[in-house]
């Protein structure tokens, strides 16, 4: 494909669109609420009303308000409808021709959408993610075209200058990682997209892969050009079948159009992408464990250095970025580093997607500029706790993060501010808890998850997380004393400071933050230091011993 062909496809696609587009969400969340049946009913209603020349039903990605799905938007400017059922299809189609519309219309100024600024999710809910032509019509692959007109060093410098930090959790500067891989000696290099999203309550990357697969692929191709790689892999957990299906379809379409493969867009740049499916091990979100799994081995982490940028997949320099990071790249290349750097805060640039779940009215995906406060996301966009309840805490960062109490709701969401509170940004999970939630039980839930997901390679994580879970259970069952609590705190720091990888190093975070902010709940469950045994003599409560 030449550049003229790309522009021609965009023009033909825009010209072929019908005056009215009925946009029906067909992503995983809405599918769970029977969205595919709704879409079929809409298509039937269009034919029954004889409007097939005027009205087009399009299956689109997730608009974000998952708790109100299935969502159907009548465009342009005819409104968005929530919780649509198949029986409403005829009325919705008739309203496109002047008839009355159902009453379940969302307010155009709904607070869930009002505070968002969409960069990664700019096309979500507006185009069919399974048609490359729709992506091209919205400017898709223009950034790749522009990047291929620049030298690799110029592309890397743009990514450095924009201030983008990795959206997978650690927040490492993306440009520095790219520069490290780019400066490695020429030879075989790889680009790996980490789609092994495993945090409870997190589904940001899943949505991006489902709703904008070509955007992820375009970001990977730009990265390949920048660092000198000709092969990319997207590592997706097996629990995301729709994401896998759409990614594979997108790769096939891009190959047919010459947007992947040999001589991309008439240049000398070659780049291929393949999808690899993981078995759902949480530890494979860690980059060295992911590499081991990609190589066909057991997914366990290895000590660093060397880092993957120096010696990664099959011993070759490897660039690993998560889904959201790579999907941000096309817009940065197209609009420029200065444009992106003007969004967010001094140390946290751009936007971030959060999956807002838990005790909240409006659950779903929000993309906001970094620096937006927790209160704006949870109470304004999320609508607060159902039934007028009060927020007690917010868990950010999943099992690797911490519980932030309601007193800090006015905290700006930034990498550094969250770290000061004992939590992390993580990949973007945000679970809201109300006053009915018991914080020791919350800590035990996350510790059980970490103990189950530990790969077992290092003793601090393999044994320490199980011990912590046992101690938390003893506390909750009111069988522990203050000395047990002290030992649990000491164990938290030992696991954090001596574990091999990020799973063990961050596993104690939910425990430490709940202790920090909700110590009274733990103390209320403790027994006296000693209690009488059956024979009347005082006896200390022993710790559980793991053989």
pLDDT tens for residues 306-328?
999 999 999 999 999 999 999 99
For residues 410-428, give the mean pLDDT: 92
- What is the domain extent for residue 177? 139-341
Q: Is residue 545 part of a domain?
A: no
User: CB neighbours (10 Å) of residue 434?
Assistant: 18
Domain end residue (candidates: 433, 462, 494):
433
More confident residue, 335 or 168: 335
Exposed, middle or buried by CB within 10 Å (0-12, 13-18, 19+), for 32? exposed
| pLDDT for 534 | 47
Within this chain, do residues 428 and 492 fall inside the same structural domain, yes or no?
no
* pTM value > 0.85: yes
The answer to whether the bond into 29 is cis (omega within 30° of 0) is no
Question: Tell me: the pLDDT tens digits for 234-246?
Answer: 999 999 999 999 9
Within this chain, do residues 180 and 279 fall inside the same structural domain, yes or no?
yes
Question: Tell me: the pLDDT tens digits for 170-202?
Answer: 789 999 999 999 999 989 999 999 999 988 888
Report the number of distinct structural domains present in the chain: 4
For residues 422-446, give the mean pLDDT: 93
Within this chain, do residues 277 and 337 fall inside the same structural domain, yes or no?
yes
| pLDDT for 541 | 39
What letter does residue 307 receive in the DSSP assignment? P
pLDDT band, residue 529 (cuts 50/70/90): low
| pLDDT for 98 | 85
Measured CA to CA, the distance from residue 78 to residue 97 in angstroms comes to 11
State yes or no: pLDDT of 547 exceeds 90: no
For residues 250-257, give the mean pLDDT: 97
Q: Is residue 306 part of a domain?
A: yes
Q: Is residue 218 part of a domain?
A: yes
| pLDDT for 400 | 86
Q: Return the H-helix or E-strand segment holding 416.
A: helix 415-420
| pLDDT for 168 | 86
Mean of pLDDT over the chain? 93
What is the distance in angstroms between the CA of the first residue and the CA of the last residue of the chain?
A: 63
Within this chain, do residues 316 and 280 fall inside the same structural domain, yes or no?
yes
Three-state SS string over 447-494 comes to: HHHHHHHCCCCCHHHHHHHHHHHHHHHHHHCCCCCHHHHHHHHHHHHH
Dihedral-angle region of residue 128 (phi above 0 means left; psi in -120 to 50 means alpha; beta otherwise): beta
| pLDDT for 340 | 98
For residues 398-414, give the mean pLDDT: 93
Domain end residue (candidates: 394, 414, 433):
433
Within this chain, do residues 429 and 444 fall inside the same structural domain, yes or no?
no
Q: Is residue 480 part of a domain?
A: yes
Q: Which residue has the tokens 């519980």?
A: 403
User: Contact at 8 Å (CB) between 418 and 424?
Assistant: yes
Within this chain, do residues 409 and 524 fall inside the same structural domain, yes or no?
no
Question: Tell me: the pLDDT tens digits for 267-293?
Answer: 999 999 999 999 989 999 999 999 999
Within this chain, do residues 217 and 304 fall inside the same structural domain, yes or no?
yes
């Amino acid at each position: 494909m030449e550049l003229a062909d790309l522009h021609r496809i965009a023009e033909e696609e825009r010209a072929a669109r019908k005056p009215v587009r009925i946009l029906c969400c067909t992503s995983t969340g809405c599918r769970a609420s029977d969205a595919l049946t709704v879409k079929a009913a809409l298509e039937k209603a269009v034919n029954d009303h004889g409007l097939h020349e005027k009205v087009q039903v399009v299956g689109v990605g997730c608009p974000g308000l998952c708790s109100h799905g299935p969502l159907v938007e009548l465009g342009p400017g005819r409104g968005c409808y929530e919780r649509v059922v198949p029986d409403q299809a005829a009325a919705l189609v008739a309203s496109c021709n002047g008839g009355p519309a159902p009453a379940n219309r969302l307010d155009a100024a709904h607070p869930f959408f009002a505070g968002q600024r969409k960069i990664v999710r700019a096309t979500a809910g507006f185009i069919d993610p399974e048609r490359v032509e729709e992506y091209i019509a919205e400017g898709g692959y223009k950034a790749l075209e522009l990047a291929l007109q620049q030298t690799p060093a110029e592309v890397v410098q743009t990514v450095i200058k924009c201030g983008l930090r990795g959206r997978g959790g650690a927040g490492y500067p993306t440009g520095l990682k790219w520069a490290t891989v780019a400066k490695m000696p020429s030879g075989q290099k790889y680009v790996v997209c980490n789609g092994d999203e495993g945090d409870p309550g997190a589904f940001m990357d899943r949505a991006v892969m489902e709703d904008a697969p070509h955007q992820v692929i375009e970001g990977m191709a730009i990265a390949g050009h920048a660092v000198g790689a000709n092969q990319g892999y997207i590592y997706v957990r097996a629990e995301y079948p729709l994401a896998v299906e759409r990614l594979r379809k997108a790769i096939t379409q891009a190959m047919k159009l010459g947007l992947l493969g040999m001589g991309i867009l008439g240049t000398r740049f070659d780049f291929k992408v393949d999808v690899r499916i993981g078995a759902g091990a949480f530890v494979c979100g860690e980059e060295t464990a992911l590499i081991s799994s990609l190589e066909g081995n057991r997914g366990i982490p290895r000590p660093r250095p060397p880092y993957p940028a120096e010696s990664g997949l099959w011993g070759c320099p490897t660039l690993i970025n998560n889904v959201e990071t790579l999907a941000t790249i096309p817009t940065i290349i197209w609009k420029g580093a200065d444009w992106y750097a003007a969004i967010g805060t001094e140390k946290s640039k751009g936007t971030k997607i959060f999956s807002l779940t838990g005790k909240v009215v409006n659950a779903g995906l929000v993309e906001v500029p970094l620096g937006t406060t927790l209160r704006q996301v949870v109470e304004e966009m999320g609508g607060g706790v159902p039934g007028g309840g009060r927020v007690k805490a917010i868990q950010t960062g999943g099992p690797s993060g911490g519980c932030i109490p309601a007193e800090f709701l006015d905290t700006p969401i930034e990498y550094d501010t969250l770290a000061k509170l004992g939590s992390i940004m993580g990949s973007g999970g945000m679970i809201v808890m109300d006053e009915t939630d018991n914080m020791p039980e919350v800590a035990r839930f996350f510790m059980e998850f970490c103990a189950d997901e530990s790969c077992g390679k290092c003793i601090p994580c393999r044994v320490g997380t199980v011990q912590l879970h046992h101690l938390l259970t003893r506390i909750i069952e009111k069988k522990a004393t203050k000395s047990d609590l002290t030992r649990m705190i000491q164990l938290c720091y030992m696991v954090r400071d001596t574990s091999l990888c990020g799973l063990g190093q961050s596993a104690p975070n939910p425990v430490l933050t709940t202790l920090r902010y909700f110590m009274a709940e733990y103390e209320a469950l403790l027994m006296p230091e000693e209690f009488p045994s059956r024979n009347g003599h005082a006896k200390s409560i022993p710790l559980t011993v793991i053989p």
